[in-house]
Amino acid sequence: MSKVFYKAFAVSLIIFLTVNLIFAQDREIVTSDSAMVVSAHPLASEIGLDVLQKGGNAVDAAIAVQFALSVVYPRAGNIGGGGFMVVRTDTANYALDFREKAPVLATSDMFLDGNGNVRPLSSTHGHLASGVPGTVDGMIRAYERFGSLPWEDLIQPAIDLAINGFPLTEREAQKLNQNVDQILRINTVKPDFLKQNYYQTGDTIRFDELGLTLTRILNNKRDGFYEGETARLIMEEMKRGGGIINRIDLENYQSVWRDPYSFWYKNYKVITMPPPSSGGVALHQLFQIMERYPIGEWGFHDPLTVHLMIEAERRVFADRAAYLGDPDFVDVPAEILVDSVYLDGRMENFDTLKATPSGLIYAGEMPEESTETTHFSIVDKWGNAVAVTTTLNGNYGSKVVVGGAGFFLNNEMDDFSVKVGEKNMFGLVGGSANVIEPEKRMLSSMTPTILEKDSSLYMVLGSPGGPTIITTVFQTILNVIEFEMNMQQAVEAGRFHHQWKPDQVYMEIEAFDDELVEQLRSMGHKFKMRREIGSVDAILIRDDGKLEGGADPRGDDTAKGY
């Protein structure tokens, strides 16, 4: 094996061994009186706060943070990917779908070989793995509806960071070092920002070509990305690398305003994303199940509480695989999936004393009639709230940087069912509702979420993490509502995840004590350790009216307010 492999392995081992120390250091609780931004990078949070202090609203700040993250957090922040935005105002709630789409030349078998088998890495690495980017169109749609400050005030800070450069955090230097060889191998043109092969904490990095791309977006908005020079550079990159995104894809891409997916958990109203996000329906199912049991009395990480949550997650993810997809292409039976009678049937074989093997769990029978990401949460002085989850899918997406344009393309095609019944990069099994079709949006787990309590804004949150997004948001909400944690405690608490298949509980290191692990093992649960699950950025509105931030110590996440 190469020296590079051993070097990367050593870095990963060090992170693995020290992660408990990182999590054990409780962060200081950040509070503010008027407004707050919580994002994955301190520089992005600072830019968002500056926009709020200049009189911008929460959507203005969200746009500025999105573009800033495309520079300072390029492994997930993006203009070459997509995502979802949930907006709450005093008068209405909104959901913006700027998820990527399959190119018009995409086919259901595009990642299969002549024998019908999935070609390794074909849907995760390289040009063919990319869906049509939606982020830029989404930010422009959001601005057209809610923007109040001049457009240039929201884009220029990101341009300044790209051209002037900024210091790498320890985590971002490590991530770049772990991926630089793949990036160089996959790209047809060496990315302009890779001036060296090894980076250290504090090294200054510049993204000159990305700065020029952002300047075209500043000057021409949508046409600065989907047409003109940037579109030409994307087409040239596709031609060099054998990709299939073409001009028609770019010209025709449109983000979509959808009705938010809303439901009640006790006296809390939960406002989140509808399909093609699976998060809203899955959260609704999970909370419907939890409401039947006194988990607050059982307690946080009580064996029975954890056992119930695992069993609920197991069944909900089985339904996700079978029934959820792009509502523009398939009928998503959401009302049935969350019906109390249906859920009674799903939990009928729940045993309080032992685990149900996933091999005995199937998608529920329907009556006749479907991992690198980032999230940020914002509240402005008027009480408007925005939750945005945005992604390239894997770390640095497809690893492809558009030559001359300086930004990474996503590898979202892997979020489709590349082959029905086969697992994707996150181990999720795909169903027929999510097969590849031209111009279809791939199913997502992104779950930007806003909660109300007694008709007032209560919580804003979300997380990266592929399928673990849903369970991370679920557990963080329960930590506050049922287990009476403050926002920072709820974010820092150890997490676990079950997604039906494979039949194992993913658990953060030392999330459970040894006694709890043994109790759960005696029930039949199998465990696989994970260094970390999710990275929540959240805001809680306390009873005294103050805003309380929850910035996850699993990353460089930072809460800033005034």
Residues forming the active site: 373
Token output for 110:
């595009």
Which residue in 403, 395, 402 sits closest to 426, CA to CA?
395
Contact (CB, 8 A) for 371 and 425 = yes
Q: Report the alpha-carbon distance of residue 308 to residue 302 in Å, rounded.
A: 10
Q: How many residues belong to the chain?
A: 562
Angle at 285 between CA 279 and CA 287, to 5 degrees: 95
464 preceded by cis ω (within 30°)? no
Give alpha helix (H) positions in 350-415.
none
Name residue 366's amino acid: M
- Burial (CB count <10 Å: 0-12, 13-18, 19+), residue 266: exposed
Contact (CB, 8 A) for 85 and 388 = yes
SS (H, E, C) 165-222: CEECCHHHHHHHHHHHHHHHHHCCCCCCCCCCCCCCCCCEECCHHHHHHHHHHHHHCC
- DSSP string for 451-502: EEETTEEEEEE---STTHHHHHHHHHHHHHHTT---HHHHHHS--EE--SSS
- Burial (CB count <10 Å: 0-12, 13-18, 19+), residue 515: exposed
For residue 88, the SS3 value is: strand
Which residue in 502, 511, 557 sits closest to 530, CA to CA?
511
Contact (CB, 8 A) for 285 and 343 = yes
CA 338 to chain centre: 23
HSE-up (13 A, CA, CB side) for residue 137:
24
Q: Report the alpha-carbon distance of residue 142 to residue 559 in Å, rounded.
A: 23
Q: Report the alpha-carbon distance of residue 268 to residue 459 in Å, rounded.
A: 10
Token output for 195:
């001036």
Which residue in 55, 35, 77 sits closest to 166, CA to CA?
77
Q: For tokens 């029930």, what's the residue?
A: 523
Q: Report the alpha-carbon distance of residue 372 to residue 26 in Å, rounded.
A: 25
Q: For tokens 């009476």, what's the residue?
A: 484
Q: How far is CA 165 from CA 71, 313, 322, 516, in A?
A: 9, 43, 46, 47
SS (H, E, C) 135-167: HHHHHHHHHHHHCCCCHHHHHHHHHHHHHHCEE
